[in-house]
């Protein structure tokens, strides 16, 4: 005698019958099934009740019990979540994160997964949401690592943007450091020496490594770091405006500015224009992310293109492995991000004159 309850056996039997198409549409009545299978009526009922809860069957009172053909059995319905910390400035409406979500949706759709987005960190509510998800892709920031650990308790997770302190958590990030080195290389190649950096919050890998890339780029190009040329923002458009004000207030304003993201670059460009400076004639600007608007504004923004499609693909592939209980080929992926040169940088004026 097995120790699995009989109603489970009955459940499995019914499921199998559905898969093998022995059972197509309507089940025999509960009483006849009981007789047929040799279990009691109530046992059969319990099994069927569970299957109804699971969505495998549905009932019409006084008519009978039927197989639910709505996908739920033909192909395991899979849904993954995209989690973005709600404390992110303007949340999902921030252009970069909505871009990421869109990329993940597209990638997931290819594999017949659907995606829901959620941002709630309240553990109680989280559980409710998670219970219906097969896996989660989360944008990771240090302040929400606890939440991420919570999620990991419930479903497989892979983290993007920043890697987690806990290295057992799979991650897909981009090479922020070398990306910004490339930016510095490029802008110095145009003759700029006085190069400002508009950094974001340095509470994350992203913040730190983009800044580190800037510093290393200067060093590589034999330019000394000048603390005055570093402005600390918070990635927002408004911060970009403030940053521009700050740089303009300097005795020795930079001729080129590298921004830690596009939104700040946009803010800076707006402010410069307002103050009568032309981008790129007077000031060159480089962004980071390559959000949609970057190429839609005048001048088109030269920026580091975050490979969102690649990020989505890699993250999804890993997640899929985790969901299927397989070992992913790589737990930690770092993708290259390269500069796309558009119209927001010019040769240094004096160089042009020369």
Position among 14, 18, 23, 39 found at the interface with DNA (CB under 7 A): 39
CA distances from 105 to 46, 113, 267, 310, 312 (A): 38, 8, 29, 13, 8
23 with 16: CB under 8 angstroms? no
Contacted by 45, from a second copy, DNA, none: CB < 5 to 8 Å by type = DNA
- Residue 310: partners with Cβ closer than 8 Å, 6 or more residues away: 335
67 scored as a contact of DNA (CB under 7 A): no
Strand order of the β-sheet with 338-340 is 230-232, 195-199, 256-259, 284-289, 302-305, 338-340
Span of 61-69, 145-153, 176-184, 271-279 interacting with DNA by CB under 7 A: 61-69
The Cα-based distances of 317 to 101, 161, 176 in angstroms read 15, 16, 22
| Residue 152 touches which member of DNA, a second copy, none, C-beta under 5-8 Å by kind | none
Q: Give the binding range for DNA (CB under 7 A) out of 4-12, 201-209, 266-274, 300-308.
A: 4-12
The one of a second copy, DNA, none whose footprint includes residue 43, by CB under 5 to 8 A per kind, is DNA
Query: Closest CB to DNA among 28 and 191?
Result: 28
**Binding positions for a second copy, rule: CB under 8 A:** 53, 55, 70-72, 77, 79, 81, 86, 90-93, 95, 98-99, 101-102, 105, 109, 114-120, 122-125, 127-129, 131-132, 237, 266-267, 269-270, 273, 292-293, 296-298
CA-based nearest residue to 230, from 214, 219, 241 = 214
Q: Residue 273 binds which entry of a second copy, DNA, none, with Cβ cut-offs from 5 to 8 Å by kind?
A: a second copy
Candidates 36-44, 254-262, 264-272, 289-297: pick the segment binding DNA (CB under 7 A).
36-44
Task: Give the shortest CB-353-to-a second copy separation in angstroms.
Answer: 25
Cα 350 to Cα 16, 183, 281, 290, 312: the distances in Å are 79, 20, 11, 29, 43
Burial group, residue 16, by CB count within 10 angstroms (0-12, 13-18, 19+): exposed
Question: Is 29 one of the binding residues for DNA (CB under 7 A)?
Answer: yes
């Amino acid at each position: 005698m097995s120790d699995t309850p009989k109603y489970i056996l009955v459940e499995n039997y019914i499921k199998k019958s559905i898969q093998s198409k022995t059972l197509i549409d309507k089940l025999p009545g509960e009483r006849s099934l009981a007789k047929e299978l040799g279990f009691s009526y109530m046992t059969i009922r319990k099994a069927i009740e569970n299957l109804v809860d699971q969505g495998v069957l549905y009932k019409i009172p006084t008519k009978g019990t039927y197989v639910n053909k709505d996908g739920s059995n033909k192909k395991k319905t899979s849904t993954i979540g995209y989690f973005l910390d709600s404390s992110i400035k303007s949340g999902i409406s921030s252009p970069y994160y909505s871009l990421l979500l869109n990329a993940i949706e597209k990638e997931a759709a290819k594999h017949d997964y659907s995606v829901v987005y959620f941002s709630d960190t309240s553990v109680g509510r989280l559980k409710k949401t998670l219970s219906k998800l097969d896996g989660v892709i989360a944008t990771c920031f240090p302040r929400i690592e606890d939440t991420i650990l919570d999620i990991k308790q419930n479903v497989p997770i892979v983290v993007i943007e920043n890697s987690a302190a806990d290295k057992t958590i799979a991650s897909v990030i981009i090479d922020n450091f070398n990306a910004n080195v490339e930016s510095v290389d490029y802008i110095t190649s145009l003759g700029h020496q006085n190069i400002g950096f508009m950094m974001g919050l340095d509470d994350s890998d992203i913040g730190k490594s983009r800044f580190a890339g800037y510093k290393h780029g200067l060093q590589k190009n034999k330019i000394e770091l000048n603390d005055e040329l570093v402005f600390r923002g918070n990635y927002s458009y408004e911060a970009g405006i403030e940053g521009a004000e700050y740089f303009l207030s300097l005795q020795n304003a930079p001729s080129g500015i590298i921004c830690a993201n596009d939104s700040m670059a946009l803010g800076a460009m707006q402010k410069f224009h307002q103050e009568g400076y032309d981008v790129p004639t007077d000031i060159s600007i480089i962004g980071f992310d390559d959000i949609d608007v970057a190429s839609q504004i005048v001048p088109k923004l030269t920026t580091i293109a975050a490979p969102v499609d690649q990020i989505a693909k890699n993250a999804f592939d890993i997640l899929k492995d985790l969901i299927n209980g397989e070992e992913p080929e790589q737990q930690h992926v770092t993708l290259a991000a390269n500069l796309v040169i558009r119209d927001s940088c010019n040769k240094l004026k004096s160089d042009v004159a020369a």
